[in-house]
Structure 1
Amino acid sequence: MRQHTDDLLDALAGSFTRRVLVNVFHGTDRVATDLAFESWSLESDLDSAVGTSGSGVVVYPSVSGESLSPEGTKGVLSPFRARVELVMEVSAGGFRERVSLGLFRVVTVPEARDYTADVDGVSRVVSSRVKIGFASLAEDVRRRGFRFPEQPPQTDSCYRELRRITGMPVLESVPDAAISGNPTWEAKQGGRLDAVQKLADQMSATAVVNSAGAWVLVPDEQGEPVASLHLGERGTVLDVGNEIDTDTVYNVVVGQFEDDDRNPIYAIAEVEAGDLRPDSLYLETTRYYSSPFVKTQEAAESAVQAILALSTGAQVYDVPIQCHINPLIEVGDVVSLEGWVRPLVGRVVKVTLGDSALMNVTLSVRRAL
């Protein structure tokens, strides 16, 4: 969750107003503060390579006839230099608190317009409206490729290698692991970002840049909820849906691997008891699995058993929720849904915010089988 006070939690449970402002940075220098932001949207997806993207219109009343419209590499909002911080201000009565929605890279300025007026017989800019498109700071890593294929200089810590190849802060949110499989990071488009996710895979996690501008590892295993959404008279959830899909429930896993000399390694795991046995009414559903990090028969047996346990231990399905806007929720958070026909706990995998008083959230929920 984004940083907040207890008073803000109380305000979000009742009636409140909000507005979004923009701070602009060039490097570490803040060059503009509290700019009005209109027609904005912010979309986060845990499965997206970059994670978060959005757009909006910056509205600037000129003080001395200056324009905020960029010209090529020049200007406050030029996509060649600007980073923007989106800040939501929540007000309820005499209470007011600001929440940083994140720092983002400006990637495009599809439209910019200056409005002029005659002042003492001279035409002067009185305001600017600049539409911007922006993306998570993971975009910096995606654009910065490796100049040559390279291997990790040290293999005892995935976290150390993540910091080396991203040049960004990395929060240690899951246990560290050694780098296995002697990987070579490819010199290709998006190769550095691919390397980040491969390192995250070795820690059984997904890497994402959080609202503080740091990489954080979201574990595959669902933890305890950090927030809740409520149905009922004072609830915030307006619409709930769910789906049941057996396509991802496998009762046989076939592993195909190679050792360091490229000799084949095979391993098979299957459900041996219960309603999901291959000879049950469900019949056999086979999953094939391979990994460049599995190099021994022992590791292969362990890998297929782990994949089988994930598949048969629970079914993952998505619950789309529409609720009153809550600026504290981020992708990767585990939240509970209370007051519905049955309690639900799931990980937030998608969030869409915007000018509307509502937001859309998708929870990935595990149903025990």
Structure 2
Amino acid sequence: MRQTSARISQAIADGGTRKSWVFDLIYDNARRLANVPIQREPALDWDASRFVTGSGSARVVWTDDHAHTLVPREIGDWFSPFGAEMQVDCIIGAGVFAERIPTGRFVITEVPDATESRMLWEGRLIHPGEAFTVTLKDRLAKVQRDDFGMPAAPRTASVWDEIQDLTGMPVVRNLPDAAIGAIAYEGPKEDALKALYDRIDAWAHPDATGALTARPKAWPEPVDTIRNVVSAPTSMTSQFTYNRVVVKGRSAEGRPLYGVREITEGFLRVRNSNGSQSPYGGATYTYPDTLGVLDTQTKVDEYAASLLPRVSRIRSVTREVTEPFNPLREIGDVLVFEDRRAYGTAPVRVQTLRHRGAHTVMTVEVPDG
């Protein structure tokens, strides 16, 4: 949950606040342009099931006193998608008070369209006005598109030190550190980073200022209560619930190792006691050890045994909760949701989040019964 003062936090909970968005153009960690003019409210989304969780778009409008253009045409232009970033903040006002709440640091990945006005003035072509859309993704997009050029080894023994070294991003160490062990890197850096976070039982999570932190896989304590619900329909899916895990490792000699564990009883059993297919059937979750940590049969078996309860209990019941605009929400937040007719008072966890005008819309996971 993003932090703000108690006064603004209470005002958001009570409703009736006023808001405005602020976009600052950043390059190489330096602000190039403050208060970039945006035509309409931006579309901002976060999805905890993705590696690059944050995405969005904004429509920039520009009128320059000297009729210069900012439409990017070459690498190095201010808004070109080759290193330019946007720091997006939300200013919340309540009465005479107002606070600026960081919302996200995004990489500009595309400028898909641009329209501009042109006219001749004293024999010179000028640009009295223009507009263009910028497509945004969080800073993990830079890690996702990068690979190791050749096999490599970690340069540190600490998971957090290695995360910082691998990504080049500042880190906030919000979970205890762990030792990496003897591993090797090869292929996409995304896979290596996921494996490092597995060592601390978490997912990579960029914060609102662009630093890299961790979103724990275990549910933390609730940070707030959902109030003023506009709507909250229920849905259920089997897409992310598994009853078999296959963990793939490799011995020090290069021999493939496999650890397999299955659910053998209950509604999620893989097969019936007589060997026939169960009503649910099989759903396999495969975990490849990309860092080479699981190098013995005992290790792959133990990891498979620890992984099965997690993937077979991924929350299959979700609710789409619409509430008045709340810029403090984050994916991974555990919130108290009260619905006595269906579930009573229970914690839920934010899986997806999007801001749309006067509303914030969240998909929340409901604990299994």
TM-score normalised by length of structure 1: 0.83
The CA distance in 2 between the partners of 1:145 and 1:314, in whole Å, is 30
Written as runs of structure 1 = structure 2, the 5 A alignment for 1:196-211 is 196-211=193-208
> Aligned match of 2:241 in 220, 237, 248?
248
Query: Contact (CA 8 Å) 1:319, 1:364: kept in 2 or not?
Result: yes
| Residue 151 of structure 2 is aligned to residue 158 of structure 1 | no
Say which SS state the counterpart of residue 67 (structure 2) adopts.
coil
Residue aligning to 1:182: 183
What CA deviation, in whole Å up to 9, does each residue of 1:331-357 have, x standing for no partner? 122222135532231221211123x21
Query: Contact (CA 8 Å) 2:267, 2:280: kept in 1 or not?
Result: no
The CA distance in 2 between the partners of 1:127 and 1:218, in whole Å, is 43
TM-score normalised by length of structure 2: 0.83
What CA deviation, in whole Å up to 9, does each residue of 1:266-310 have, x standing for no partner? 5657668x8888659x88966576653434454345334323433
Say which SS state the counterpart of residue 368 (structure 2) adopts.
strand
**Change in 2 beyond 3 A, CA 1:120/1:93:** farther
The CA distance in 2 between the partners of 1:70 and 1:163, in whole Å, is 31
Query: Contact (CA 8 Å) 2:87, 2:209: kept in 1 or not?
Result: no
Query: Contact (CA 8 Å) 1:249, 1:315: kept in 2 or not?
Result: no
- How much does 1:145 deviate? 2.6
- How much does 1:144 deviate? 3.1
Query: Contact (CA 8 Å) 2:320, 2:364: kept in 1 or not?
Result: yes
**Deviates most, 295-304 or 193-202:** 295-304
Identity, % of aligned positions: 25
Query: Contact (CA 8 Å) 1:249, 1:285: kept in 2 or not?
Result: no
What CA deviation, in whole Å up to 9, does each residue of 1:28-64 have, x standing for no partner? 3212111232342111111212211111111233223
Aligned CA-pair RMSD = 3.3
Residue aligning to 2:61: 59
**Deviates most, 209-218 or 337-346:** 337-346
- How much does 1:257 deviate? 5.6
Residue aligning to 2:222: 225
Residue aligning to 2:326: 326
**Change in 2 beyond 3 A, CA 1:210/1:77:** same
Query: Contact (CA 8 Å) 1:62, 1:128: kept in 2 or not?
Result: no
Query: Which runs of 5 or more structure 2 residues have no equivalent in the other structure?
Result: none
> Aligned match of 2:137 in 135, 148, 152?
135
The CA distance in 1 between the partners of 2:174 and 2:367, in whole Å, is 21
The CA distance in 2 between the partners of 1:122 and 1:311, in whole Å, is 64
Query: Contact (CA 8 Å) 1:229, 1:237: kept in 2 or not?
Result: no
The CA distance in 1 between the partners of 2:260 and 2:29, in whole Å, is 52
**Change in 2 beyond 3 A, CA 1:30/1:271:** same
**Change in 2 beyond 3 A, CA 1:3/1:118:** farther
> Aligned match of 2:231 in 214, 227, 238?
238
Query: Contact (CA 8 Å) 2:348, 2:365: kept in 1 or not?
Result: yes
What CA deviation, in whole Å up to 9, does each residue of 1:108-156 have, x standing for no partner? 11122334678899875333322111111111222333222212234x3
Point out the structure with the larger strand share: 1
- How much does 1:157 deviate? 1.9
Residue aligning to 1:20: 21
Query: Contact (CA 8 Å) 2:38, 2:61: kept in 1 or not?
Result: yes
- How much does 1:209 deviate? 1.5
The CA distance in 1 between the partners of 2:135 and 2:55, in whole Å, is 8
Which amino acid is the alignment partner of residue 110 of structure 1?
A: P
Query: Which runs of 5 or more structure 1 residues have no equivalent in the other structure?
Result: none
> Aligned match of 2:252 in 260, 265, 269?
260
What CA deviation, in whole Å up to 9, does each residue of 1:181-207 have, x standing for no partner? 623332xxxx11221111112222111
Say which SS state the counterpart of residue 172 (structure 1) adopts.
coil
| Residue 62 of structure 2 is aligned to residue 70 of structure 1 | no
The CA distance in 2 between the partners of 1:76 and 1:283, in whole Å, is 57
**Deviates most, 314-323 or 215-224:** 314-323
Residue aligning to 2:5: 5
Query: Contact (CA 8 Å) 1:105, 1:134: kept in 2 or not?
Result: yes
The CA distance in 1 between the partners of 2:43 and 2:7, in whole Å, is 26
Residue aligning to 2:210: 213
The CA distance in 2 between the partners of 1:275 and 1:134, in whole Å, is 42
The CA distance in 2 between the partners of 1:21 and 1:59, in whole Å, is 13
Residue aligning to 1:30: 31
**Change in 2 beyond 3 A, CA 1:338/1:73:** same
Say which SS state the counterpart of residue 80 (structure 1) adopts.
coil
- How much does 1:11 deviate? 1.8
Residue aligning to 1:302: 302
> Aligned match of 1:144 in 138, 143, 146?
146
How many pairs are equivalent?
356
The CA distance in 2 between the partners of 1:182 and 1:258, in whole Å, is 11
The CA distance in 2 between the partners of 1:3 and 1:16, in whole Å, is 16
